[in-house]
């Protein structure tokens, strides 16, 4: 218990210490700062930007990072991220862009004339800060990160200011015109142009000659003016976008409410904080649902794609897979344009975006930090691989079985394959030409994603609510897949549309599991197309680039292409119209990226390694712990000088009546001892080992007894003496009578047969019993030598048995005695003498610390087969209380596995004498009944050696008497019985021999009659009772 308490205390201490000294994240303090910048086409407009600067908490000069907020946000929305980033050792500056938060000015949509100029001046400001590391004078080491609106300013600034060293734009656009007026169709001929033109060609805002970046024909983004002109207006997103800018002062959807000073004018109510030209254009466009050249020109000015070729800063583009505003195609366009100039670019498609998803905040942060660590701090630059792979896709890893949460995997590829994938798979679609109509007014409209609400309506893994209105949609379906298909990129399909004029259609690719489940629209994305049908042809073919997604079609699932005439998120024509839609080529081309396929989806190594290791460990545990052999003692026990003292022999031996053969044996022993003496005298005091001490015991006797004669120091009454201790200890504790007697005995040993008379004389008042004991020593040694010859027949032989309690106190101390066949041996001793412990060791329940027990010559160990010849009843009965007496007895016998016929149930149960009570549950028994049943159980199979501990406890006098007869009769048949008891009168009547123990040591041993007789001799015919002798022996006599 103490150890447990100490362990708990130690653990608690360690825990508290660890908690106290655990390094906590350094504290970061932001410094609010208003920075005045000058911008405008003519550099004449003063704007006050509301900023917060977070110096690196460790001091020193650190790289700087500008954190830009999203549309509708302010510097406050970046605060948490800024603090985390500063803790990573950066100087971080957040600001509210012009027109947002507490900054002045109007929103110019990341225009190079306005916002870009602002940020350039923020970089100037950073260059003057003492905390910021400089590359050159006025050129700080700086990176920019931000999402959406903030991502675009990162790209734009990097293009216009080459002091920027790394950027991490997230969920942002490449071409704002395309984002708001997308058209996913490419028509080989006719009014629409191809998608292979260089981006931004002929755009007025382009500051220098754009180097043409090749773009794939299948790209979802068409960036030329005419494509945007024919694009389908993304009505709802545009409305939300604009509405946020207008209503920024009143209620902001994405950020905390912040109020600007001043009353609201009509102009403010109409345009909010937008610049007037943006406001005008939006209102015109939203009314018609068609792009105008001015609108396209204006939006292009704010589009990174026009200037992406100038970006020299390594760029990590993070784009959301669930984003109907800026779908993956925008990151693709940016990546291609930037990479074309040799600038390092990485892409990540994460589970998030403007439509919701998980967001993966921590993962994005880790990726951003890794990117900045590499390109701002220069960490890992020398290493072979980049910390951020060129292309990473977040995939659904199923549900974590422990937390039941969705888990995400991040397979990586070393190069970015583009939306066309590294390979393509053609999946055949079936379906006839179908008639669809555009309803008047465009209502009711099909639903794919509801902007701003997508995350709320849809589940995380489903495509959200997707409804196609009947009559408005044509469906083409594949056969069930025979193998899983992992789509990564933008699938393409060719359709033929028959009708008149210009068809506004929406194409989506569903994942259909079976009839019972709703089809899934991956990421809830839809490809809007505008197909111009030449008047003379009556029909037109178009290649539709379906939305870029990463989606796994499982085996048995089908692909379904649906073409509808309406979608809630887009502006559709109000005039009713009818079209026929058919597949121009009967297959959809599915891009796949095999380099990503090797995702770490396999079983974790520990799943099989751990049980294997555990089984090995278990085997080791079991094989090393097989047994506790103590080889030291066995040979000593068998040796000539072994201390075994059998109780009967000494008393039959010559001490008083000197039987010849015993006398001769005695002299033999004497010789042996003398030899030992001669050999061992010199070395004796250093003898530490128990059994060597026994061998030297004789030496000790001689040595102390000879000079001292009757000296009390001859403390060797103990049958098996430990001289090293006895010499000092015994003499000191004043156990004089005892010790003297023993000494006398020993002395007599030394001087041969004559010694007895000397002993008597020498000790004077010494106890006669002690003399007997001394004789025991001698005789015991003699008998042992005989026993060594006769081998296995001895029912019980204990030698040098020692057992210590856990606290070190000896429960049994160097005990040796021996029981012969046919004896009823009484084991006597006061409480704590070690009787029960000895019996437990006989049963193999307790391991001796030293010495051994042999039953019929076999050494006793736990479960030793020889124990089957031992019947035992120790420390009370042990029965299953819920079973009847008979069941208990029978099941116990069955548990021994021995034949039923050998059990002798009837004899045993007769001894128990329970009668009908035998059929009752044992829990109803009285103490005496249980006692009798237990003795009966011990006698089952009539064992050759019966060990009974206090058998008469709880029995009434007639039963005691009966028990006495039973035991006597039992032994008479050649079996052996060992009984421990406190009831000395009982022992006197039952037992033939007695062993007396005290404090774990053997005090006396011999036939009862001898014990009594010797006492009588000393006391001159007082008619002693065993009780007197016993009390005398254990030294408790008053």
Partner 1 sequence: MTTATGYAPNRTLPLRVEFVRQFKRRRTLGMFALLLALPWVLVIAFQIGPQSSSQGQSALRMSDLATQSGLNFAAFVLSVSASFLLVVAVALFCGDTVASEANWSSLRYLLAAPIPRDRLLRQKLIVALGYSAAAVIVLPLMGLLAGTLAFGWDDITVPGTGETIPAFDVLPRFGIVIGYALVSQLVVAALAFLISTMTDSPLGAVGGAVGLWIVCTILQAVEALGVLREFLPTFWNNAWTDALVPELDWSGMAKGASVSVTYAAILIAIAFRRFRRKDVTS
Considering only residues 894 to 923 of the shown chain, the ones binding partner 1 according to CB under 8 A are 894-899, 902
Burial class (CB in 10 A: 0-12, 13-18, 19+), 603: exposed
* DSSP code string of 900-936: GGGS-HHHHHHHHT-GGGGGSBGGG--HHHHHHHHHH
| Pick 384 or 621: Cβ nearer partner 1 | 621
Region of 357 please: left (phi>0), alpha (psi -120 to 50) or beta. Answer: left
| Pick 441 or 881: Cβ nearer partner 1 | 881
Helix H or strand E encompassing 156 = helix 149-160
Task: Please answer whether residues 885 and 922 qualify as being in contact, where contact means their C-beta atoms are separated by less than 8 angstroms.
Answer: yes
Minimal distance in Å, beta carbon 403 to partner 1?
A: 8
Size of the site for partner 1 (CB under 8 A): 74
CA–CA dist 430, 478 (Å, integer): 6
| Pick 204 or 456: Cβ nearer partner 1 | 456
Minimal distance in Å, beta carbon 1026 to partner 1?
A: 29
Minimal distance in Å, beta carbon 864 to partner 1?
A: 7
Burial class (CB in 10 A: 0-12, 13-18, 19+), 346: buried
Nearest to 778 by CA among 803, 756, 802: 756
The answer to whether residue 924 forms part of the interface with partner 1 (CB under 8 A) is no
CA–CA dist 63, 81 (Å, integer): 16
What are φ and ψ of residue 350, in 5° steps? -110, 170
- Given 7, 606, 635, 1022, the residue binding partner 1 (CB under 8 A): 606
Minimal distance in Å, beta carbon 797 to partner 1?
A: 14
Task: Please answer whether residues 221 and 178 qualify as being in contact, where contact means their C-beta atoms are separated by less than 8 angstroms.
Answer: yes
Helix H or strand E encompassing 391 = strand 391-393
| Beta-sheet pairing, 993-998 with 824-828 | parallel
Nearest to 126 by CA among 74, 49, 25, 46: 49
| Pick 870 or 1029: Cβ nearer partner 1 | 870
- Looking at residues 776 to 805 of the shown chain, list those that interact with partner 1 (rule: CB under 8 A): 792
- Looking at residues 494 to 523 of the shown chain, list those that interact with partner 1 (rule: CB under 8 A): 513, 516-517
Tokens found for residue 813:
């101390």
- Looking at residues 864 to 893 of the shown chain, list those that interact with partner 1 (rule: CB under 8 A): 864-870, 872, 874-883, 887, 891-892
Minimal distance in Å, beta carbon 391 to partner 1?
A: 25
Report residue 711 CA to chain centroid gap: 70
Candidates 198-206, 380-388, 598-606, 820-828; binding stretch for partner 1 (CB under 8 A)? 598-606
* DSSP code string of 606-619: HHHHHHHHHHHHHH
- Given 2, 3, 257, 628, the residue binding partner 1 (CB under 8 A): 628
Q: CA–CA distance from 914 to each of 468, 883, 926, 936 (Å)? A: 88, 15, 11, 10
The answer to whether residue 857 forms part of the interface with partner 1 (CB under 8 A) is yes
- Given 250, 615, 761, 985, the residue binding partner 1 (CB under 8 A): 615
Site string for partner 1, 283-312 (x = CB under 8 A): ------------------------------
Minimal distance in Å, beta carbon 113 to partner 1?
A: 48
Minimal distance in Å, beta carbon 972 to partner 1?
A: 20
DSSP 440: G
Q: What is the dihedral of CA 796, 797, 800, 801, to 10 degrees?
A: -10
- Given 191, 663, 846, 983, the residue binding partner 1 (CB under 8 A): 846
- Looking at residues 439 to 468 of the shown chain, list those that interact with partner 1 (rule: CB under 8 A): none
Candidates 13-21, 242-250, 422-430, 862-870; binding stretch for partner 1 (CB under 8 A)? 862-870
| Pick 711 or 887: Cβ nearer partner 1 | 887
- Looking at residues 116 to 155 of the shown chain, list those that interact with partner 1 (rule: CB under 8 A): none
| Pick 147 or 943: Cβ nearer partner 1 | 943
Query: At a CB cut-off of 8 Å and minimum separation 6, what does 580 contact?
Result: 433, 434, 435, 436, 497, 498, 499, 539
Minimal distance in Å, beta carbon 941 to partner 1?
A: 6
CA–CA dist 1026, 710 (Å, integer): 28
Tokens found for residue 109:
């949509």
Site string for partner 1, 556-595 (x = CB under 8 A): ----------------------------------------
Minimal distance in Å, beta carbon 730 to partner 1?
A: 30
Task: Please answer whether residues 334 and 301 qualify as being in contact, where contact means their C-beta atoms are separated by less than 8 angstroms.
Answer: no
The answer to whether residue 250 forms part of the interface with partner 1 (CB under 8 A) is no
| Pick 585 or 638: Cβ nearer partner 1 | 638
- Given 280, 502, 735, 858, the residue binding partner 1 (CB under 8 A): 858
> HSE-up of 201 (CA within 13 Å, CB side)?
13
| Beta-sheet pairing, 412-413 with 549-553 | unpaired
| Pick 18 or 607: Cβ nearer partner 1 | 607
Minimal distance in Å, beta carbon 812 to partner 1?
A: 12
Residue with tokens 């997308």: 182
Tokens found for residue 681:
């005298």
| Pick 679 or 857: Cβ nearer partner 1 | 857
| Pick 251 or 624: Cβ nearer partner 1 | 624
| Pick 671 or 902: Cβ nearer partner 1 | 902
Tokens found for residue 830:
């006061």
Candidates 181-189, 610-618, 678-686, 971-979; binding stretch for partner 1 (CB under 8 A)? 610-618
| Pick 288 or 461: Cβ nearer partner 1 | 461
- Given 382, 625, 789, 915, the residue binding partner 1 (CB under 8 A): 625
| Pick 44 or 362: Cβ nearer partner 1 | 362
Minimal distance in Å, beta carbon 58 to partner 1?
A: 25
Task: Please answer whether residues 240 and 282 qualify as being in contact, where contact means their C-beta atoms are separated by less than 8 angstroms.
Answer: no
DSSP 121: H
- Looking at residues 12 to 71 of the shown chain, list those that interact with partner 1 (rule: CB under 8 A): none
| Pick 501 or 881: Cβ nearer partner 1 | 881
- Looking at residues 813 to 842 of the shown chain, list those that interact with partner 1 (rule: CB under 8 A): 840
| Pick 188 or 862: Cβ nearer partner 1 | 862
Minimal distance in Å, beta carbon 854 to partner 1?
A: 10
> HSE-up of 623 (CA within 13 Å, CB side)?
6
| Pick 306 or 937: Cβ nearer partner 1 | 937
- Given 409, 479, 619, 761, the residue binding partner 1 (CB under 8 A): 619
Minimal distance in Å, beta carbon 22 to partner 1?
A: 12
Tokens found for residue 609:
């390694």
| Pick 182 or 941: Cβ nearer partner 1 | 941
| Pick 120 or 803: Cβ nearer partner 1 | 803
CA–CA dist 221, 548 (Å, integer): 10
Task: Please answer whether residues 111 and 87 qualify as being in contact, where contact means their C-beta atoms are separated by less than 8 angstroms.
Answer: no
- Looking at residues 374 to 433 of the shown chain, list those that interact with partner 1 (rule: CB under 8 A): 398-402, 404
CA–CA dist 540, 532 (Å, integer): 7
Minimal distance in Å, beta carbon 594 to partner 1?
A: 22
Residue with tokens 């074309």: 340
Task: Please answer whether residues 375 and 141 qualify as being in contact, where contact means their C-beta atoms are separated by less than 8 angstroms.
Answer: no
Region of 1030 please: left (phi>0), alpha (psi -120 to 50) or beta. Answer: alpha
- Looking at residues 517 to 556 of the shown chain, list those that interact with partner 1 (rule: CB under 8 A): 517, 554
- Given 371, 756, 856, 925, the residue binding partner 1 (CB under 8 A): 856
What are φ and ψ of residue 315, in 5° steps? -120, 130
């Amino acid at each position: 218990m103490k150890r447990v308490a100490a362990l708990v205390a130690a653990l608690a201490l360690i825990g508290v210490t660890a908690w106290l000294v655990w390094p906590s994240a350094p504290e970061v303090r932001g410094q609010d700062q208003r920075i005045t910048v000058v911008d405008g086409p003519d550099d004449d407009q003063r704007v006050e930007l509301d900023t917060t600067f977070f110096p690196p908490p460790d001091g020193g000069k650190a790289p700087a990072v500008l954190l830009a907020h999203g549309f509708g946000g302010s510097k406050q929305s970046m605060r948490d991220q800024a603090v985390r980033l500063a803790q990573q050792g950066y100087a971080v500056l957040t600001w509210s862009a012009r027109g947002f938060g507490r900054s002045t000015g109007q929103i110019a949509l990341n225009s190079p004339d306005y916002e870009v100029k602002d940020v350039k001046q923020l970089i100037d400001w950073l260059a003057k800060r003492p905390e910021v590391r400089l590359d050159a004078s006025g050129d700080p080491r700086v990176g920019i990160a931000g999402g959406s609106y903030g991502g675009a300013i990162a790209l734009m600034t990097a293009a216009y200011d080459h002091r920027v060293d790394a950027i991490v734009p997230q969920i942002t656009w490449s071409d704002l015109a395309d984002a708001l007026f997308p058209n996913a169709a490419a028509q080989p001929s006719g009014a629409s142009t191809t998608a292979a033109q260089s981006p931004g060609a002929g755009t007025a805002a382009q500051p220098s000659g754009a180097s043409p970046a090749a773009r794939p024909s299948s790209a979802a983004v068409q960036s030329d003016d005419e494509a945007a002109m024919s694009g389908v207006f993304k009505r709802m997103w545009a409305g939300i976008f604009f509405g946020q800018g207008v209503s920024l002062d009143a209620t902001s959807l994405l950020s905390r409410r912040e109020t600007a000073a001043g009353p609201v004018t009509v102009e403010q109510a109409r345009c909010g904080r937008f610049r007037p030209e943006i406001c005008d254009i939006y209102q015109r466009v939203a009314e018609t649902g068609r792009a105008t050249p001015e609108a396209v020109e204006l939006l292009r000015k704010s589009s990174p794609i026009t200037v992406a070729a100038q970006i020299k800063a390594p760029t990590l583009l993070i784009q959301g897979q669930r984003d109907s505003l800026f779908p993956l195609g925008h990151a693709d366009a940016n990546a291609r344009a930037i990479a074309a100039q040799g600038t390092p670019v990485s892409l990540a498609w994460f589970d998030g975006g403007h439509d919701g998803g998980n967001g993966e905040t921590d993962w994005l942060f880790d990726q951003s930090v890794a990117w900045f660590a590499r390109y701002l701090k220069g960490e890992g630059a020398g290493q072979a691989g980049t910390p951020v792979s060129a292309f990473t896709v977040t995939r659904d890893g199923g549900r974590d079985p422990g937390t039941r949460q969705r888990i995400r995997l991040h397979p990586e590829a070393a190069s970015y394959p583009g939306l066309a994938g590294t390979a393509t798979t053609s999946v055949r679609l079936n379906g006839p030409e179908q008639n669809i109509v555009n309803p008047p007014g465009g209502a009711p409209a099909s639903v794919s994603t509801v902007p701003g609400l997508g995350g709320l309506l849809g589940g995380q893994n489903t495509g959200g609510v997707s409804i196609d209105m009947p009559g408005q949609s044509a469906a083409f379906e594949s056969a069930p897949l025979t193998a899983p298909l992992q789509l990564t990129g933008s699938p393409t399909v060719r359709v033929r549309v028959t009708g008149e004029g210009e068809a506004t259609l929406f194409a989506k690719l569903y994942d259909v599991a079976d009839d019972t489940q709703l089809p899934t629209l991956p990421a809830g994305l839809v490809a809007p197309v505008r197909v111009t049908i030449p008047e003379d042809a009556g029909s037109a073919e178009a290649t539709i680039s379906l939305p870029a997604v990463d989606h796994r079609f499982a085996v048995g699932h089908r692909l379904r292409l649906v073409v509808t005439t309406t979608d809630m998120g887009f502006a559709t024509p109000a005039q009713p119209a009818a079209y026929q839609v058919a597949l121009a080529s009967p297959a959809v081309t599915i891009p796949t990226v095999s380099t990503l396929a090797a995702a770490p989806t396999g079983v974790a190594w520990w799943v099989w390694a751990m049980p294997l290791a555990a089984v090995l460990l278990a085997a080791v545990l079991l094989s090393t712990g097989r047994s506790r052999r103590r080889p030291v003692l066995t040979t000593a026990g068998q040796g000539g000088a072994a201390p075994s003292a059998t109780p009967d022999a000494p008393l039959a031996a010559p001490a008083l009546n000197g039987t010849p053969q015993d006398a001769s044996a005695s002299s033999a022993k004497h010789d042996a001892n003398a030899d030992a003496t001669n050999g061992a005298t010199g070395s004796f005091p250093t003898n530490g080992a128990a059994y060597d001490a026994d061998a030297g015991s004789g030496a000790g006797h001689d040595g102390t007894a000879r000079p001292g004669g009757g000296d009390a120091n001859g403390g060797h009454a103990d049958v098996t003496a430990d001289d090293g201790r006895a010499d000092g200890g015994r003499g000191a504790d004043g156990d004089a009578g005892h010790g003297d007697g023993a000494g006398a005995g020993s002395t007599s040993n030394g001087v041969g047969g004559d010694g007895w008379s000397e002993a008597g004389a020498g000790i004077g008042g010494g106890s006669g019993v002690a003399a007997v004991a001394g004789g025991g020593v001698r005789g015991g040694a003699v008998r042992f030598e005989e026993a060594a010859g006769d081998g296995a027949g001895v029912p019980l032989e204990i030698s040098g048995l020692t057992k210590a309690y856990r606290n070190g106190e000896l429960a049994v101390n160097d005990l040796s005695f021996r029981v012969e066949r046919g004896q009823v041996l009484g084991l006597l001793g006061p409480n704590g003498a070690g009787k029960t412990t000895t019996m437990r060791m006989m049963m193999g329940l307790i391991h001796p610390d030293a010495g051994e027990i042999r039953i019929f010559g076999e050494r006793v160990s736990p479960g030793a087969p020889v124990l089957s010849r031992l019947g035992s009843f120790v420390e009370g009965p042990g029965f299953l209380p819920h079973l009847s007496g008979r069941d208990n007895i029978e099941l116990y016998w069955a548990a021994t596995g021995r034949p039923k016929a050998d059990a002798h149930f009837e004899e045993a149960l007769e001894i128990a004498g329970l009668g009908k009570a035998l059929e009752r549950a044992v829990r109803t028994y009285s103490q005496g009944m249980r006692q009798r049943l237990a003795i009966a159980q011990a006698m089952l199979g009539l064992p050759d050696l019966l060990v009974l501990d206090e058998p008469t406890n709880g029995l009434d006098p007639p039963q005691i008497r009966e028990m006495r007869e039973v035991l006597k009769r039992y032994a008479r048949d050649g079996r052996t019985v060992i009984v421990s008891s406190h009831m000395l009168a009982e022992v006197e009547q039952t037992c033939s021999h007695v062993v007396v123990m005290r404090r774990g040591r053997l005090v006396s041993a011999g036939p009862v009659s001898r014990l009594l007789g010797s006492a009588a001799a000393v006391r001159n015919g007082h008619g002693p009772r065993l009780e007197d002798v016993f009390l005398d022996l254990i030294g408790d006599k008053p």
